[in-house]
Structure 1
Amino acid sequence: MNTEISDVRAMEILDSRGNPTVRVFVELADGTRAVSSVPSGASTGENEAVELRDGDKSRYLGLGVLKAVDNVNKNIAPAIKGIDASDQWRLDAHLRELDGTENKGNLGANAILGVSMAVARASAQSFGIPLYRYLGGSNARRLPVPSMNILNGGAHADNSVDIQEFMAVPVGAPNFREGLRYISETFHHLKKILKEKGLATSVGDEGGFAPNLPSNDAAMDLIMDAIEAAGYTPGEDIAFSLDSAASSFSTDLTSKYDLKKSGAGKMDSAGLVALGEKWVKKYPIVSWEDPLAENDWAGFTDFTARLGDKIDVIGDDLFVTNTKYIKRGIKEKAANSVLIKLNQIGTVSESIDAVRLCRDAGWRYMISHRSGETEDTFIADFAVAMDGGQLKTGSASRSERIAKYNRLMEIEQELGEGAQYYW
């Protein structure tokens, strides 16, 4: 076994939205070969690591990634050949140094992350162990409780719903396989209900239904009906998780909001917090992502003070998987949980550092996909490796989402009686 990196190359492929992204191939000296594909987000925080795009309007409307591919092939590859793939931190540190910017804007986070993930996967394969065990150690055996996106709004759908994601969470299931069944059945019952009401059953970017509805409340009422129609008890078997992606309907990203898609109108941070309190009383909500905009730190702190003892208040755009912002959030008590997206920060080791910071603070964390996904199942293994017990990776439709769920069922079967599952 020789885990020195011997070859690295990249190519341009398409993601689930039909937009270009980066695929990286890595080969080690012992002949091990691995590949990774990088996701892309639609609802992005302004402090995320930079996704390098070509800007050439004659190709893919300017969204090509040939520059990022070139950076892998011409700049990164020669610089990392000979590095031990099993030394992930050293590799990632070298990639950051090679880029030379805080936001990875030189080489592109899409180029850097593609290499980082492919090297981790190659090293795991060389050692002959699953990726989740390679990254998480011999005790990695906790399957995440999935938050399945079953109804889309906001930036992920062209409809009249402000909230970006309404998710079903199988908190009462005995294991991952059964939990997935609970929410998949709920998804299909929701489709039947929408059809019966003459509402659209087309889906948004992450596979959830995207009907036009009279209010955001109406979306949750429909999901309640679907849970019960599937034979489950709301709050006991299946709960709700929301992602407001509030930056998408904030007019200043700080304290002013306009829920114009649904017609709910304008409100300030206090009004949005009050709305949150109302919904948490009315619906079985267990977690809520980005209830305020990414620069509304005061609003987040108020929201957490009022509801943090009842639900997980998750920062996504607020923290962008960056330990600098997570540390501020811990200090200001702006949340009690963090969404972890590898491409927000750009390397595997920095994502792990963000998870460790959450653990040290007693915070929870949820591993997440992006709206522009690929068939790559890296985050499924990563979720088990990180032992956080939470994952969101889309709906019970679209193969790029289903691939992650299927991988988790494989892991659960492999672990056998050793597998753990709990909220």
Structure 2
Amino acid sequence: MSHRGGLSRGLAEPRDRDRMRSAAAEFYRVTGVPQVMERALNELFSREPEDVHGYLANYFTNLSAPPRISRLKGREVYDARGQLSIQAEVFCIVCNEEKSMSSAAVSSHSGPKETSLDWKAASGVRADHVATALQWINGPLDRMLKGQTPCDQSDVDHLLSDFFMARFLEEKDLRDKEKEEQRSPSEPELPLSSPLSAPTRSKKGADKRKKSIAVEKSLPPAEPPEPVLPGSSAIGSVSLAVAKTAAKVQGIPLYKYIAALKNTTAPAQLHVPLPLVPLLSCGKTSPGKLSLLEEVILIPKAGQRVKQIITMTLELQEEMMRIMNASTKVGATPATPCGGGALAAAYERPEQPLDLIAEACASAGLALGAEVHLALNCAAPELMDCAKGKYEVAPGVLKSPDELVDMYQALISKYPAVVALIDPFGREDIDQWEKLSNVIGDSCSLLSDITFKSKAPPLPGVRGHILKHIHETTVSDLICIASEHQGSVLMGTTCSEPCSEDSWSDIAVGLGLDYVKLGGLSGAERMAKYNRMISIEEELDQQGILVSQVKHPPPLFWDEPAEPPAAAESAS
């Protein structure tokens, strides 16, 4: 078929035929490649699409040069707490025009001890971090990635990581030099005089002190917190924005793009991680005295759809609020969700929140220990007092490591629905991790946060790891860590999530994780993540590539699937 014959058949209007002939003639003249137009028109007229011009536009778009990054743009945004954060936007040249492709923001805070800073100091530190990140994105990172293809995630992330490491080493050298300059010339140190000189002290008092020191065994010295380099959140934000851009260029969802990166090819089947939903917040920021349990987290039964889990959890949460408000004194503030989306509870003992959940489950008709299990985020590293050798589980209430082991053992024995403990001790207290693991056996899983210590040696007894996408963590880093640490749980940072970022759900599905913690069931920024998870689940189901959690049993909390596979097959 010639293109002229096709024109007379495919386009009824003479005006369109003339326009097409003129366009073809101009294309022949400019490019000198008439066979390309011939092939396009032959394919066009054999199909006879309704949108002729749209078809041609798509055809020649596929022949154009692949998109390249033209520039980056950083901007200040606010997270869920109203604190400054950084967002990175990626622009590409597409068909000779610059287009904004995607933007992303990752969580950022000044480090594991940020909660110990006062509000004014924390705001100042954060402002410094954001200002540096803004400078990096609009300056050196923009120049470094210009002309790069967004579809080469490994190459882009390698450049980002090298840039970060160079800045990190520069900062380290600067700090070392400042410390060296601050040191005074070597002089003999004079012992400080004491109110009581040594000869006047009684021998009896000295013996008493020695005895008390021998009894109170100090904890291992705390590992220094990983320094958070100002501006580091620019690295994670740019990496995620580039990944989203690549997915858009390839015309696939972000979760499929990440799954293809992790598995070298797109997997034939995917599963949706089981959401772990925080129910209660009892940590230092809660109104009660109990500091030990930062969160009590619901682990739903495997095999349920995300929408079912959300509905069940909301009903349970309503029942918990009713019980809490009924027992609250007249005139007191009613129970409401805290910053992380979970209910804030004012308790003094760890048994109290667990009793509340047990009562609420009974009222809602949920079988605690069958339909609902629990995980306790202990956040014990924040409670360590190395000098005293104890953990401050509540203001003025100190527990030795052995006493804490006994407490955990008693809780698990009394509440068998508790199947996981997150960070029950500091990482340095290795002996207690091993002791607790030996005591509880397989009845409860121990999980450790590896966000700041991803290269640290594994702790004894740990079956799973908490993974967070913050700071300089790139998409390639997430893939590497999730592959090396089986049983990883992608967990949000409680309440410092960027409001508009719902990529957590795509990342968790793409990484092939069995569990994800997206936050409590309140707040637009958290519900956007749950809504995205529901959409992904529906997409996979419609495409026939969704694997049920019953057929893909999560191995972290149960050794056996929630329902025998044979029964599941017969039921379906």
TM-score normalised according to structure 2 size: 0.66
Q: Please give the per-residue CA displacement for 1:148-182, whole angstroms capped at 9, x wherever unaligned.
A: 11111224434323210111111255222212222
Corresponding residue of 1:76: 141
Corresponding residue of 1:26: 90
Q: After superposition, where does 1:96-245 map in structure 2 within 5 Å? A: 96-99=161-164, 100=166, 101=168, 108-137=231-260, 138-139=266-267, 141-162=270-291, 163-198=293-328, 200-245=334-379
Greater mean alpha carbon deviation, residues 15-24 or residues 79-88: 79-88
The alpha-carbon distance between structure 1 residues 3 and 241, as it changes in their structure 2 partners (threshold 3 A), is: farther
Alpha-carbon deviation of 1:9?
0.9
Q: Please give the per-residue CA displacement for 1:114-173, whole angstroms capped at 9, x wherever unaligned.
A: 101111111111111111110013335211111111111224434323210111111255
**Match status 1:305 vs 2:429:** no
The alpha-carbon distance between structure 1 residues 322 and 5, as it changes in their structure 2 partners (threshold 3 A), is: farther
**Match status 1:355 vs 2:457:** no
Alpha-carbon deviation of 1:336?
1.4
Query: How many angstroms apart in 2 are the aligned matches of 1:170 and 1:106?
Result: 38
Match of 1:39 among 98, 104, 107: 107
Match of 1:373 among 486, 497, 521: 497
Unaligned segments of structure 1, at least 5 residues? 49-54
**Match status 1:391 vs 2:516:** yes
Greater mean alpha carbon deviation, residues 129-138 or residues 99-108: 99-108
The alpha-carbon distance between structure 1 residues 150 and 277, as it changes in their structure 2 partners (threshold 3 A), is: same
Corresponding residue of 1:51: none
SS at match of 1:232: coil
SS at match of 1:354: helix
The alpha-carbon distance between structure 1 residues 231 and 343, as it changes in their structure 2 partners (threshold 3 A), is: same
SS at match of 1:336: strand
Residues 155, 248 of structure 1: 8 Å contact kept: no
The alpha-carbon distance between structure 1 residues 17 and 107, as it changes in their structure 2 partners (threshold 3 A), is: closer
**Match status 1:17 vs 2:81:** yes
SS at match of 1:134: helix
Residues 282, 347 of structure 2: 8 Å contact kept: no
Residues 276, 516 of structure 2: 8 Å contact kept: yes
Corresponding residue of 2:212: none
Residues 96, 104 of structure 1: 8 Å contact kept: no
Residues 246, 292 of structure 1: 8 Å contact kept: yes
Q: After superposition, where does 1:291-370 map in structure 2 within 5 Å? A: 291-307=424-440, 309-316=442-449, 319-320=450-451, 322-325=453-456, 328-329=457-458, 332-343=459-470, 346-359=473-486, 364-370=487-493
SS at match of 2:426: coil
TM-score normalised according to structure 1 size: 0.88
Q: Please give the per-residue CA displacement for 1:166-216, whole angstroms capped at 9, x wherever unaligned.
A: 111112552222122222221121111111111741332211111212312
Corresponding residue of 1:271: 403
**Match status 1:402 vs 2:527:** yes
Alpha-carbon deviation of 1:32?
5.7
Greater mean alpha carbon deviation, residues 170-179 or residues 285-294: 170-179
Query: How many angstroms apart in 2 are the aligned matches of 1:301 and 1:385?
Result: 33
RMSD: 2.7
SS at match of 2:344: coil
SS at match of 1:415: helix
Query: How many angstroms apart in 2 are the aligned matches of 1:256 and 1:166?
Result: 23
Query: How many angstroms apart in 2 are the aligned matches of 1:388 and 1:338?
Result: 11
SS at match of 2:501: coil
The alpha-carbon distance between structure 1 residues 294 and 70, as it changes in their structure 2 partners (threshold 3 A), is: same
Query: How many angstroms apart in 2 are the aligned matches of 1:295 and 1:15?
Result: 32
Alpha-carbon deviation of 1:255?
5.2
Q: Please give the per-residue CA displacement for 1:14-51, whole angstroms capped at 9, x wherever unaligned.
A: 11111111111112232461111221358x537x9xxx
Query: How many angstroms apart in 2 are the aligned matches of 1:322 and 1:175?
Result: 33
Query: How many angstroms apart in 1 are the aligned matches of 2:315 and 2:517?
Result: 17
**Match status 1:88 vs 2:166:** no
SS at match of 1:286: strand
Residues 321, 354 of structure 1: 8 Å contact kept: no
Rg bigger for which structure? 2
Query: How many angstroms apart in 2 are the aligned matches of 1:8 and 1:249?
Result: 41
Which residue type is aligned with residue 389 of structure 1?
D
Corresponding residue of 2:206: none
Query: How many angstroms apart in 2 are the aligned matches of 1:16 and 1:25?
Result: 20
Residues 295, 376 of structure 2: 8 Å contact kept: yes
Corresponding residue of 2:126: 63
Greater RCO structure (CA 8 Å; 6+ sep): 1
